[in-house]
Structure 1
Amino acid sequence: MKNFYTCLVVGAGPSGSSAAYTFAKNGIDACVIDKAIFPRDKLCGGLLTRRTKQCYSDVFCSGWDDVYECKSNGALFFHKGQMINAIENYGELYFCNRRTFDHALLEKVTATGADVVLGDRVEVVDTTSRTCLLHSGRKIGYRYMIGADGVNSVVARAITSKGFDRSRFAFAVQAETPDIICRKEDMVMPEIYFGEVDWGYGWVFPKKNSCSVGIGGLCEKSGDVKRRFREFYFARTNQLYSAPLKGHYIPFGNFSWNAVAKDIIIVGDAAGLVDPITGEGIAYAIESGKYAAQAVISAISNKNITLADEYERYYSKITREMVRANMLQYYLFSRCTRGLVMGALSRSKTMPYHYMDLLSGDIDYKDLFSIIQKKSGIFGMFFRNLKTQ
């Protein structure tokens, strides 16, 4: 183990493992640091889309069938407890246990020869001396750093000097429940619930031997999410949830406009890359980790390339999508319009399939706005304007 690395990656989740793997397979000396000892539990619904599958294949090449527990080709949509629409026999959705998924990715990193430091938290990032001080007292120097340390990122605070503002994030609560309790007979499709919490949604996702039951919404608009989770859990299972609740914060469209500073790139949840409509985060994590590493490699090999400009070519595509998703989020969850949106969703035979296309990466939000504009006169002017942004 060395005291200096060309590339230091803080965080060993999907974004950090993606970056470290890309560095190592390109012959760049890299080290990954994480406060946890893997395998470790990670609170997450564990949804993997076809887009996630493609991102995974682009970086890690093989082993997809080993990282998920079950799959589905449809979904059920509910509003205030009543099913309003469904997708059947269309697309690909996969469901994983994040403990297994994240560990599998990190094992691939270890196999490349990259150094890995687990169970030691980064306490201070000194951008002047380019060093990290770990909880153990050890100091590690770097030339470039990737901040992949999650929503409450130490690295992000080092380059922005901003504290963690909980009110700007969503808060989610989830429980893994034995399938005998909440799974309907032969349940193979995920269930998405609107109207259970303001500015958010609930979900029941099938797993191998369990179901993930969860609910999440924007902190400043959703009130007591823990109380609403208990109500939601009882409605789904007909049982009271008496165990201690586990929750976590989600960026939910609260992304960083500038992800590069002082030879540091923040990626994944650290950069706020979670889609507020679909909840897609793992694909963005893997993708941003890969492109951050590639931007560093390009900057190393060509002195005429700046790290910020190189990464911005990719990152700007994400931020444009996030802006559009945030605008659509307002119409989906606002009290003034959500009733109309839910009514339109319940009547449409095709919109759920377009949602699946969005998850798969076959269409983007600009395409979706064009589709909605054609189908909905009441929002036609809004989406016509939004499409040009």
Structure 2
Amino acid sequence: MMYDVVVVGGGPSGATAAEDLARSGARVAMLDREGRIKPCGGAIPPRLIEDFAIPDDQLVAKITTARMISPTGRAVDIPIENGFVGMVDREHFDEYLRNRATQAGATRLTGTFLRIERDPGGCNVVYREKATGEERRLSARMVIGADGARSRVAAAEMPGGSKIPYVLAYHEIIDAPDCATGSYDPARCDVIYDGAISPDFYGWVFPHGRSASVGMGTAVDGVDLKQATAALRSASGLAECATVRREGAPIPLRPLDRWDNGRDLVLAGDAAGVVAPSSGEGIYYAMIGGRVAATAAMAALTSADPAKLKLARQLFMKEHKTVFRVLASMQNAYYRSDERRERFVSLCHDIDVQRLTFEAYMNKRLVKARPLAHVKIGIKNLAHLTGLVRPGYV
């Protein structure tokens, strides 16, 4: 069988691309390794729930408060006004998305990508079938590489595809404690900015209903991720909770400069490096990445013009480039030392910072409705960075 598109990877990005392509009438195959669960806090904003029609039964928790915790233990609670942040368990959420792609008409295959071979008829995606261990081939006109931060597709097919800078993330899924245990709140996400937990990123405690995700990330060599997570669990009063599973994986730090080869292949999701700086948020951007990759692939197929594959990156950056730039600047400014992290949490006391931050997160765009608030935030940000104000003052 000749497929129009073979999607390599069945996470949120690959499954979204496969579903969109199938609904557009393309003959599509989705190749997934199966059995791998990505470490992830699992937060999804209302914009994702709306744009991708996620049913309520996929939400294992609804978060109404975010708590920022500084190196000295200062806690700033930020209420999520007029809504909530949904939480999903990637073990079940990813499978739901794969099943939805299959129901839309995508052919689901389980195996490990090996290489791409080309002949005059098109691409041949070579993979090792999980059930038999044998090499198989899928013929296709186009390929979408959505196989994660250490993408084999990107490494083999794209210049620089094996050199994406990344943070190593590790978390432990634990049984959720009783609501009265320690400071744990099943409706609150805790984000810990403390160099003792992560010297360059952050730690987290995210409720998942009957379970919780506790973890951290770092790009610094030599940091013991398991030891840091154990310290975080102890500090959060969660050391005695039973551990359900442990997971680790890289999280890319910036998008690749190019996502397509100008011929027959385009990248999506973590393979293209689309994880938000500063926050490490990836699910929404992965699914948008899958959608724009599917759009670009269909445009290239219907027009017989491979230059249309550039649309994937162009469409993504048109909407999200500014947000990524602002978040990268914030990470570079505040994550470099505990003194800076202390000032960042102090800045989070400000009500304008809280409102604009969550409006941008919930709706995935920088809000321009209150220009004076932007000016105030800029002045306060400069004052905190230059040390004109002491931590704790806003």
Q: TM-score range by the shorter chain?
A: 0.7 to 0.9
RMSD of equivalent CA atoms? 3.0
Letter of the structure 2 residue corresponding to residue 30 of structure 1: V
**TM-aligned CA deviation for residue 161 of structure 1:** 4.7
Instruction: Give, in whole Å, the separation in 2 of the partners of 1:358 and 1:33.
Output: 34
Instruction: Give, in whole Å, the separation in 1 of the partners of 2:316 and 2:12.
Output: 17
Q: 2:51 aligns with which of 52, 55, 71?
A: 55
Residue in 2 aligned with 1:387? none
**TM-aligned CA deviation for residue 11 of structure 1:** 0.5
Residue in 1 aligned with 2:4? 6
Instruction: Give, in whole Å, the separation in 2 of the partners of 1:362 and 1:293.
Output: 20
**TM-aligned CA deviation for residue 248 of structure 1:** 1.4
**Correspondence 1:1-389 to 2 at 5 A:** 2=1, 4-37=2-35, 41-57=37-53, 63-80=54-71, 82-90=73-81, 91-118=83-110, 120-126=111-117, 130-135=123-128, 136-162=134-160, 164-165=162-163, 168-180=165-177, 184=183, 187-195=186-194, 196-220=197-221, 223-237=223-237, 239=239, 245-251=246-252, 253-261=253-261, 262-303=263-304, 306-317=307-318, 318-335=320-337, 337-345=340-348, 347-361=349-363, 363-364=365-366, 371=373, 373-377=375-379, 379-380=381-382
**TM-aligned CA deviation for residue 382 of structure 1:** 12
Which secondary structure does the structure 2 equivalent of 1:130 belong to? strand
Contact 1:267 1:292 in 2 (8 A): yes
**TM-aligned CA deviation for residue 109 of structure 1:** 1.1
**TM-aligned CA deviation for residue 374 of structure 1:** 2.2
Contact 2:154 2:161 in 1 (8 A): no
**TM-aligned CA deviation for residue 316 of structure 1:** 2.5
Contact 2:233 2:239 in 1 (8 A): yes
Which secondary structure does the structure 2 equivalent of 1:190 belong to? strand
Instruction: Give, in whole Å, the separation in 2 of the partners of 1:272 and 1:214.
Output: 21
Gaps of 5+ in 1: 58-62, 384-389
Which secondary structure does the structure 1 equivalent of 2:312 belong to? helix
After TM superposition, the structure 1 stretch with the greater mean CA deviation from structure 2, 126-135 or 27-36, is: 126-135
**TM-aligned CA deviation for residue 278 of structure 1:** 2.5
**TM-score normalised by structure 2 residue count:** 0.84
**TM-aligned CA deviation for residue 288 of structure 1:** 1.3
**TM-aligned CA deviation for residue 115 of structure 1:** 0.7
Instruction: Give, in whole Å, the separation in 1 of the partners of 2:226 and 2:370.
Output: 33
Letter of the structure 1 residue corresponding to residue 279 of structure 2: T
Instruction: Give, in whole Å, the separation in 1 of the partners of 2:184 and 2:296.
Output: 48
After TM superposition, the structure 1 stretch with the greater mean CA deviation from structure 2, 12-21 or 222-231, is: 222-231
Which secondary structure does the structure 1 equivalent of 2:300 belong to? helix
Could you list the per-position Cα deviations for residues 297-349 of structure 1 after superposition, in whole angstroms to 9, with x for gaps in the alignment? 1222224673234324313233443233222210120227433323322x413
Instruction: Give, in whole Å, the separation in 2 of the partners of 1:225 and 1:144.
Output: 39
Length, aligned pairs only: 369
Could you list the per-position Cα deviations for residues 122-149 of structure 1 after superposition, in whole angstroms to 9, with x for gaps in the alignment? 1112356621111221111211111111
Letter of the structure 1 residue corresponding to residue 328 of structure 2: N
Instruction: Give, in whole Å, the separation in 1 of the partners of 2:343 and 2:212.
Output: 31
Contact 1:278 1:359 in 2 (8 A): no
Task: Say if 1:126 and 1:319 are closer, same or farther in 2 by CA, change over 3 A.
Answer: farther
Instruction: Give, in whole Å, the separation in 2 of the partners of 1:186 and 1:299.
Output: 49
Contact 2:202 2:217 in 1 (8 A): yes
**TM-aligned CA deviation for residue 80 of structure 1:** 2.4
**TM-aligned CA deviation for residue 286 of structure 1:** 1.0
Letter of the structure 2 residue corresponding to residue 7 of structure 1: V
Contact 1:296 1:307 in 2 (8 A): yes
Instruction: Give, in whole Å, the separation in 2 of the partners of 1:42 and 1:311.
Output: 24
Give identity over the alignment, percent: 24
**TM-aligned CA deviation for residue 84 of structure 1:** 2.7
Instruction: Give, in whole Å, the separation in 2 of the partners of 1:255 and 1:286.
Output: 15
Contact 1:260 1:307 in 2 (8 A): no
Structure with greater helix share of residues? 1
Letter of the structure 2 residue corresponding to residue 17 of structure 1: A
Contact 2:43 2:86 in 1 (8 A): yes
Task: Say if 1:362 and 1:173 are closer, same or farther in 2 by CA, change over 3 A.
Answer: closer
Task: Say if 1:206 and 1:81 are closer, same or farther in 2 by CA, change over 3 A.
Answer: farther
Could you list the per-position Cα deviations for residues 47-83 of structure 1 after superposition, in whole angstroms to 9, with x for gaps in the alignment? 11112213313xxxxx521221111222111112624
Letter of the structure 1 residue corresponding to residue 42 of structure 2: G
**TM-score normalised by structure 1 residue count:** 0.85
Task: Say if 1:183 and 1:103 are closer, same or farther in 2 by CA, change over 3 A.
Answer: farther
